[in-house]
Amino acid sequence: MRFERLWRNASLATLAPQRPGVGWVQPGAIGVAGGRIAFAGAEAELPVGADAGEVLDLEGRLVTPGLIDCHTHLVFGGERSGEFEMRMAGADYQSIARAGGGILSTVRATRAATDEELAASAGERLRVLMAEGVTTVEIKSGYGLDLLTELRMLRVARALGRQHPVEVATTLLAAHAVPPDRDRASYLDLVIRKLIPQAAREGLADAVDGYCEGIAFTPVEIRAVLAAARCAGLPVKLHADQLSDGGGAALAAEFQALSADHLEWTNIEGVAALARSGTVAVLLPGAFYCLREHQQPPVAELRRRGVRMALATDCNPGTSPLLSILTALNLAAVQFGLTIEECLAGVTREAAHALGRAREIGTLEAGKRADLAIWDVERPAELVYWIGRNPLHKRIWRGE
Ligand code: DI6
Ligand code: FE
């Protein structure tokens, strides 16, 4: 066996499903060839006579799969610190939104921004995420709310993936809010008849998402959007039950969604539906924290039913201006009671499932893309425990 590069003397958290816990292997080795993992396992099991172009001694450092941020809104114009100030002074998120602030203020700023400006600000945010070991990031549209700007956001997101050593998954979130300049019915018509088919035809979106919420779209409206996505051959995701129980989880499950995200208000029937459809529950502790929510997602029930749980930053200018996936791990442990293993799996293996890419990424197993994060820590728990420390030693994308 010939490796282009071989890392030895590593502590591996492989997250491989056939290994228990975090898939711990120590001392471990990883060999890569052609941008893929050719070997990931115990040093003692390295094939006899294997040789490598380059051998690196990791001196016991922890290696995890490259981290996957499976829910972000990285592309947007402007920022919303003014709204944050208002909320800290007592205003609530939903009344700001109803008064034309919130998402709509970002829509105005996004429409006014050039492609170059959008790419520059999102690129800066992307590089911050990458500096903490992120090798795959999902990016949603949803701040254009017209044909031109929604497609523009997706193109900018795609271009970011070409310009950086990172994998970008794009999601069309045109059903994010009713635009200021159209009525609900005509906007939904545009989304269903034009936007979704065109985004699919041009290969701009890997999935379709919707905001099923009192301040956004009703389950009936979202059902039509998800049906249009299905017609266009695109998988779906859903912002579900964040601020109220709107039956979002069950709706996502009905469409075999890749993921249902937020889920603070999801009831036990909703969890059962997710379990039946194999939909991943994506928990977003940054939004929970910033909105000072009290309603906890039904973690115990998700666990009991064996629903996969992923975690993400939900980086967006309103409810989660969070650019640290490691902080999201800490928030999920402290606020939601996730275990260290669940936290790590949530930004690797389970996040890969939430993007429909589990065959390619998310674990350290032979055959998968060689996306790795090498850390200056001894124990996986340290990745969750610190707040504001970035112990990344090296980020490897496609073996480099
Ligand atoms: N994700 C979203 O899309 C909304 N909330 C969330 O957690 C709205 C984000 C925003 O206010 O811009
Ligand atoms: Fe979101």
Q: pLDDT digit string (tens) for 185-202?
A: 999 999 999 999 999 999
Show the tokens assigned to 1: 């066996």
Show the tokens assigned to 353: 């499932």
C-alpha pair distances (Å), 6 with each of 30, 166, 308, 363: 6, 21, 32, 17
Percent with pLDDT over 70 in the chain: 100
Read off the pLDDT of residues 320-364 as tens digits, 9 standing for 90 and up.
Answer: 999 999 999 999 999 999 999 999 999 999 999 999 999 999 999
Point out the least confidently predicted range of 35-44, 86-95, 167-176, 325-334.
86-95
Task: Report the pLDDT averaged over residues 119-137.
Answer: 98
Residue 176 has pLDDT above 90, yes or no: yes
Residue 279 DSSP class: P
Please give the pLDDT value at position 98. 87
Nearest-5° angle of CA 287, CA 289, CA 292?
105
Model confidence at 72, pLDDT cuts 50, 70, 90, reads: very high
Burial class for 229, CB neighbours closer than 10 Å (0-12, 13-18, 19+): buried
The number of beta carbons lying within 10 Å of the beta carbon of residue 219 is 17
Helix boundaries (H) for 232-324: 248-254, 268-277, 285-290, 299-304
Please give the pLDDT value at position 371. 98
Q: Identify which of 73, 75, 141 to mutate to test ligand 1's pocket (most ligand atoms within 8 A of the CB).
A: 73
Report the b/e string of 321-334 with b at 16+ CB within 10 A.
bbbbbbbbbbbbbe
Model confidence at 100, pLDDT cuts 50, 70, 90, reads: confident
Residue 247 contacts residue 255 (beta carbons within 8 Å) = no
Point out the least confidently predicted range of 97-106, 191-200, 281-290.
97-106
Task: Report the pLDDT averaged over residues 363-369.
Answer: 98
Please give the pLDDT value at position 400. 95
Please give the pLDDT value at position 56. 97
Question: 159 CA to middle of ligand 1, Å?
Answer: 23
Instruction: Kindly report the pTM of this predicted structure.
Output: 0.98
Please give the pLDDT value at position 386. 98
Residue 307 has pLDDT above 90, yes or no: yes
Atom of ligand 1 nearest to the CA of 142: 3
Please give the pLDDT value at position 271. 98
Atom of ligand 1 nearest to the CA of 242: 7
Residue closest by Cα to atom 10 of ligand 1: 318
Model confidence at 78, pLDDT cuts 50, 70, 90, reads: very high
Question: 72 CA to middle of ligand 2, Å?
Answer: 6
Atom of ligand 1 nearest to the CA of 176: 3
Atom of ligand 1 nearest to the CA of 320: 7
Residue closest by Cα to atom 1 of ligand 1: 314
Model confidence at 273, pLDDT cuts 50, 70, 90, reads: very high
Residue 90 has pLDDT above 90, yes or no: yes
Model confidence at 99, pLDDT cuts 50, 70, 90, reads: confident
Residue 12 contacts residue 63 (beta carbons within 8 Å) = yes
Please give the pLDDT value at position 1. 86
- Chain centroid, CA 117 distance in Å: 23
Query: 325: Cβ–Cβ under 8 A, 6 or more apart, which residues?
Result: 67, 69, 129, 132, 133, 134, 311, 312, 313, 347
Read off the pLDDT of residues 378-390 as tens digits, 9 standing for 90 and up.
Answer: 999 999 999 999 9
Residue 82 has pLDDT above 90, yes or no: yes
Task: Report the pLDDT averaged over residues 258-284.
Answer: 98
Task: Report the pLDDT averaged over residues 299-309.
Answer: 98
Show the tokens assigned to 362: 């998310």
Ligand 1 and 261: CB distance under 6 A: no
Average pLDDT score, the chain = 97
Task: Report the pLDDT averaged over residues 196-216.
Answer: 97
User: Residue written as tokens 């809010």?
Assistant: 177
- The partner residues of 68 in beta bridges, in order of sequence, read 136
Ligand nearest to the CA of 104: 1
Q: What are phi and psi of 202, to 5 degrees?
A: -85, 5
